Structure formats: structure tokens, C-alpha cells
Structure 1
Amino acid sequence: MAKEKKTNTAENADISKSKAKREERRKEVARERRQKRTTKIITITVVAVLAAIILFAAGKSVFLAVIRTTSAENPSVGLTADGKIENVNVKDIVTLADYANISVPEEEVAAKTEEVEDSIKSTLEQHKEPSTDASIAIADGDEVNIDFVGTVDGVEFEGGNSNGEGYDLTIGSGSFVDDFEQQLIGHKPGEEVTVEVTFPADYDGEDVAGKDASFAVTINSINITPELTDEFVAENITEEGVTTAAEYRAFVENNFYEQHLKEFLTNYILENSTVKSYPSQYLKTMRALLKYNDEQMLASYEQMSAYYGFSMYENLWDLRDDNVSDELSYELELRERAKEEAKDAMVYQALFEDAGLTIDMEAVYAEMTEQYGEESVTQMKETNGEGYIIQNEMREAVIEHLTALYKK
């Protein structure tokens, strides 16, 4: 019995080994099949992706060919002789903001102290005059006129002499080497000063680079900025009704107030008016004009690039935002810009008509002729067309009308 049991155990072991081999072989075959299926799926997927890319590229080219905008330079195309959009009744497609009942935030449109002071300062600086008053000392930031003769080891060097022609220098500008400018502070017109400096080691002029130099400087004058006084206003300000310093300050404040008010009102009516639909032909015109303007800008940059020897922009889309990276995205963005321009034009026209405004173009052209000359006005009409000129005047009339409604 023991021998028989041992034999059965051996047979069972052989059967188990055989079964294990068959199971292992089955698993191996299954793995091979899965691998083949996976390889096939990957191959099909890659082919499909490549096909999709090819089809997309081909489709993109076809799509671009369809939507590509042809530029145009005449801004009066699509406008009537009186500056209105052709074949469009703006009252039917524009819902205007309630422009007669706008709440204006006075603190937002009021003139800011800093901008008023900066404007007055700019005006005063335009009337600077050189002074030889020997009682006035040079201060940091002053504009002075000097003559100088520079020497290294007692020998004059090239470029170190003003040759008595006078040189305008702003103290603190860093235009001259080392602390040349600071050594002039405290000195006065008529004085002769010796300025000692050391040229930087990497200075362009090899004959003076890294060397000590001495400059014999003559201070000719200091440019003095006048103060805002009644006398200054009487002599230099030509605005009607402005005769004193206080009146000029009030004039500047009012200018900024009106500027801010116009900006607020313009933004308000454009943001709060809606357009139901966009005339397709006018949108096409807007796209053409916008693209022409972009082309002109690119051409201008190309001229600058050629002059300075480096490239700034290569394509139209390089002029736009970061999200515009190729021709397709440029064309799509161009459509959005055209819609914005078209909406603005329709809103202005709708408000112009709703408010019953009119324009005296004869008076407008007379004023333009007085300002620019008859030849320039004639050229303007030929280049832009009268429709475009009148459309711009309509916008100005709308802005002036709104300003008059809310100006205090």
C-alpha cells in the first residue's frame, strides 16, 4: 500500500508539472495576443492622429483661404455722403443707454492735484530762460550752459573741448564721466572751475580710458524756470479770459475735469448700449481698414528695423497680444476688433440721430482750413473721403452734446 501511494503521488506531481507548463504556455500565448492587439491599437491611433493632423493642417489652410481679409485703405467705403453707414437703420439694431440719466461720479472725473501741477510745471519749463545772475548757485537737476577744455597729463584730448560753443548740461543726468556734474553744484555763472575726474577703464576712447583728467570749466549760465505769476500769465498765456495765475490754474483744472468727464461718458454709452446684429458688409469693411492700419504699422517698424539694423516685428500678428500667435488667430481676433469698431460707429450714429444733432460742415472745413491750410484739407478729403470726415465729426458732436448735459 505504501508503494502504491508513493507511485500515485509521483504521478500526481508529474500531472501538476504538466498542467503548470500548459497554464504557463496559455498565459504566454495570451500575453502575445494582448501585445499584438496593443501594438495594432497604437498603430491605428498613431495613424489616426497623423491623419487628423494632416487633415487639420489642410483644413486650416482652406479655412484661412476663406476668411483671410483683404486690406483696404479708404475709410469712407461703406459710408454715405453724410457719414452714415450704408443700408443700415441703426435705430432698428441699436438699443441706446439711457444717456439722459447718467449718474456721474464727481470724484472720478474731478481734476487730480498731481496732474494739474505737472501740467503747470510743464508750461513753465517751456519758458525757461538762461540767467547769468552771479547770485544763483547751481543745484542738482539744474540745466546749465558751460564751456570746457579737458586735458590728460597736461595734453588736450579729442572730444574734450567745447570750442567755446557752449554746452547744455543737466546736473545729475550722468552725461559726463565720474562725478563731473556734482563738482559744479554750488558754483555760479561767471565762475571758472577745475573739475578732476577719472575715466572708466572701459571708456570708448583708448587714449583716455582709465586715466585721470582735468577740465577747466567756465559756467556761462543757468536756465531758470519762471514762477506762475500774474505777470507770467499776462506775457505768455493766450487763452481767452485768462489773465491771472489763479485764472490759469482754474483753466487747467477745468480742462482735466472736462477730459475725465468725456472719457467717463464715452465709456458709459459704449459699454451700456447694445447691438442686436452686425451688418456683414460693414464688418467686412472694418476688417479691411483695421488690417490696412496694421500693415502700415508693420511697414513703419520694418523701416525702423532696416535703419537700426535689427528686426522688431516680422508678421502682422506680432503686433498684437500674446494670445495672437499666427495668421489664423490674427484673423479671428481681427473679426472681434471689427465688431467693436462697428458697434462704436453704430452707437455714435444712433445717439446722434436720437438727440437730433446736426453738423455745420461748412464751418468745420473753414476751421480746418484755417488750422491746416487749404491744400492739406483738400488732400485729406481725397485720401479719407468726406464720409469718413463727417462720421468723425458726428462722434465729436455726440461727445460734446453729452458733456454739455453733465458739465457743472
Structure 2
Amino acid sequence: MGLLQTSVFRRTFEQAPAGGSERWVVVVLVLLAASVRLGYAYHGRHVALYGDMIHYDAAALRLLDRHVFSFWGGAPDAYVTPGYPLFLAGCYQLARWFHGSTAAMRTWAVMVQAVLSALTTGWIYAMARAAMRRRFAVLAALLWVIYPPSWWASTQLLTEPLYTFLLYAFAWAFLRAVQRGTPAAWAGAGVALGLTGLVRPTVFPLVAAAWVYLAVVHGPSRRIRQAVAGGLWHTAGFVLPLWPWWVRNARVLHRLVLSDTEIGNPLLYGTDPNYQHDPDLGRGLTSDQQKHLALQRIKDQFTHHPWQALRWYTVGKLHDLFTKPWFPPHPSRLWLINALNALHLVWVFLGCAGLCLGCWRQRAVRWFAVLAAFFVVVQLPFIPVNRYVYPLMPLFFMGTAYLVQTGRDWILARKGGRTL
């Protein structure tokens, strides 16, 4: 049996009907998510800037007022990709047309992010529905609706709300490209991936996913031309939104920067198990110098202390990434935070189990598992901040829902019942 047989794989994704009732389920879920998020955002609409939020806010204002892209405020740079500052600048400009105050601009951005987080619910349901029955797809979407960090994330002027929305737009577009196999579908998935990469370049290697899938499916059947055409359309779609950024960097910075130049700082902090108490690590060094120092430290760690280094880059970082959700502490509501931490761990463990089980039993879930594994592996060399795991939580919710469906079916089968 091939890993992905065309007819079986496509039937898997075609099991979800596109009827009116299906659309109403999506509408209700999105409206429910929007009501929760907009209410939370309005309640905490006074945005307090700190950390990277200060720089994103300033970069957006510089784009509007000086028409210069600079994260640090000096000369033009490419320290971060331009997706999120452009998004903020767009929200700020809309707010200026109606209000004009800086506080109103940030509130407007927060509200837009809340809507994007609600719309992400639709992508989650659509993906889950491609792999499981309706009630369990609803369960996966509802877990995202009620997940408190997804409410709070919308109030932060950081990349997560926009990135998560675009990431799952790409993930769903990829499924549709697998189902349809048309040039337009593959190109659309590529455009969605390129837009996601403009917000966070971690996704760049996923452009190879289409080539791998097409090679596995069409290679044995010798439909090489169709496979190459699909891969080329996907790659062209990926390049399309990124091309202006590459041209800008070549003209303004006089060198080719495909993504950004930020890699040195998070890579260097990722070499230090004591990173939380070492804020001055790499201070005064350029990004290239930090990258060089990080690579040298990694080499030394694995040369002189291989077991300690292996433990830090696997167990240690996985612990820091997954044990707690990305959510602010509330000393006055410690019981609530402890309950959320416990639920978060339950969802992570159940989700992992469901994704692993789905890899064996359900071809559609393999795509979810591949995405989760990819992002975990890519993150391990860098600083293990739980903020970077936040966009993966919908995958764990889908894994949890699939595990619940499988467990229910098994219980009914043992009792001689039938699945619904």
C-alpha cells in the first residue's frame, strides 16, 4: 500500500458534504467565537505595549508617516518580515480615517485580530470535517472557541493572530489542492503559504510539501508531467507575494534577503538553558555575530557535553514549549491559571495521541500530524518560548477530537452498536 493512494486519499477529503447545513454550522461556530473574542477584546481594549509589541507598533507608524520599513527605527532593515507591520499599518490607517488617536488605532487593530481569530475557527472546522464526522469536527472547533489564550492573543500586537489565521488558510487550501488537483488550486495554496511566510518565515520549507505529495502520488503512476506542473504552480504561487519583499531588499539593502535577518538572536538564546535569567546574552552583537556565536556554542555543547546538550535540545525544550499555555499570570486567580495549565496539558497529550493514531488509521490526519511535527522540529534549535506553540494548538484540538471519535467507535463496536 502506498503512503498516499490518489483515489483513497481524495475520497477521504470528499467525505464532507458542502451542503447548506454544513455552511450553517461554520457560521454559528464563527459567530460564537467572534462574540467571545470581541467581548474580551473590548473589555481589555486599552493595549499596554511591551517587548516586541513596541517595535511592531513603531514600525507600523513609520510605514504610515515616513514610508520606511525599519523594525529598529534607524536605517531601513529586514530584521523581520513585513507581513505583520503592514497589517498593523493597514489597521491604523483605517482607524485614522474614523478616529485619529493612537489609542483608537491600537483598539481597531485588536478588534480586527479578534475577528481573524474567530474566522480561524472556520478553517479548523473545515480541516477537521475532512478527517472526521460532523459532531467531532464541531468538538475540535469548540475547543478553539473556548481556549482562553486564543481570546487573550487577539489583544496583543504580535504576529500570532494573523499568522494563525493564514497558516490554517494554507493548510485548508493544501487539502483542497489535493482534492482538486487543478493548477489554480495548487497556485492558491502556494499564495496562502507565501502570505503566511511574510508574517513568519518558519513556514518556508513547507513549499516542499506539495512536491513530496505529488512525487509520492504521481511518481509510481509515471504521471510525471502532472506532478511537475502541480509543483511548479504551487511554487509560483508561493513566490508571488514574496517577490516584492525580495526586490525591496535587493534595492534598499543591496543584498538578497529571502526572509529576515532575525535568526541570530533566537538561535543564540536557544543555546542557553538559563535564557530566562540571562537578558544580556549577545548584547551589543549584530545578528550575524549572534548567529556565528550560537553555532559555535552548539558545536561546543555537543562536542564536550553531548548528553546534556541532547537533553536540553529535546526534553528540556519540549518541556518549556508545552507545559504551560501562552497566557498571562493572574496572581489573584491562581486556581484559574492552574486549571488552565492542567487542561492545556490534557489537550496536548490527547492531541498527540490522536495525531499519532490518525497517522496509522486515517490518511487525512497525516497532514495535521506532519504540520505539528514540522513546527516542533523547526522550533527546537531556537529559544523555547510557549508563545511559538500557540499556533499549533488547533492541530492538537483536531487530534483530541479524532481520538474521542475513535474511542467512541471502539466502545460502540465492543458493545455491538454502530457509529453515528
Bucket of the pairwise TM-score, normalised by the shorter protein: under 0.3
Q: Structure 2 length as normaliser, TM-score? A: 0.22
Q: Structure 1 length as normaliser, TM-score? A: 0.23
- Which structure is higher in RCO with an 8 Å CA cutoff and minimum separation 6? 1
Higher Rg of the two aligned structures: 1
In terms of fraction of residues, the more helix-rich structure is 2
In terms of fraction of residues, the more strand-rich structure is 1
